[in-house]
Amino acid sequence: MGRCRGRARSVFDRTFCVQFGEIKVQVMTSIKWMGLVAAIGMVTVQAANAQPSKQATPEKAAEKTTESSQHLLPFVGKVISVDASTRTFTLNGKEKERVFRTTDHTEYWKEGKQADFHAIGVGEMVRGNAYKRETDWEVKKITVGEKEAPEVEKKKK
């Protein structure tokens, strides 16, 4: 078998032999070229990992507001005022009063039966689910009256 021959042209060049079965191949590599390829690879990886800037645009802010307002939130409280002309009612709160607006799609329940807006009275306890809007709450479902305690059957021993 022949011996690999060759000399390095500079300090940065290296020569080595690779043997594939019966064939010996002389490979000359350059540290300069390997450094250049590694640098290009690193720049490519950094560019791929770069994230777009997180500047708030009006469209994204509107989407976020709409998205967050689509979650139903529960409410419970005592009615302190009712306005039939605007179909709103106000509940007392820990920090401030909350105004709830009903729509044509609002479900009203009282004593286990369907009802209407007129079932809501001052001093009544109400509970339900609503969407939080900028100035008020939009009611999806409201139940008027105290929550009934579930009947628990005692087991006989």
Beta strand spans in the chain (E): 13-20, 23-30, 72-83, 88-91, 98-101, 107-110, 113-114, 125-132, 137-144
- Closest C-alpha to 82, from 56, 108, 114, 59: 108
- So what's the pLDDT on residue 115? 94
Please name the residue that has the structure tokens 């609002």.
Answer: 106
Q: Please state which of the four CATH numbers 2.102.10.10, 2.40.50.320, 3.30.1650.10, 3.10.129.10 is assigned to the domain occupying 70-144.
A: 2.40.50.320
- So what's the pLDDT on residue 67? 47
Structure tokens at 131: 């969407």
Amino acid at 13: D
pLDDT above 90: percentage of residues in the chain: 39
- So what's the pLDDT on residue 87? 95
Q: What is the mean pLDDT of each run of 10 residues along the chain (157 residues)?
A: 57 60 59 68 67 56 54 92 95 89 94 93 94 90 85 60
- So what's the pLDDT on residue 75? 93
- So what's the pLDDT on residue 155? 58
Query: Could you read off the pLDDT of 45-73 as tens digits, one per residue?
Result: 666 666 555 555 555 555 554 444 578 99
Structure tokens at 12: 């940065």
- So what's the pLDDT on residue 71? 85
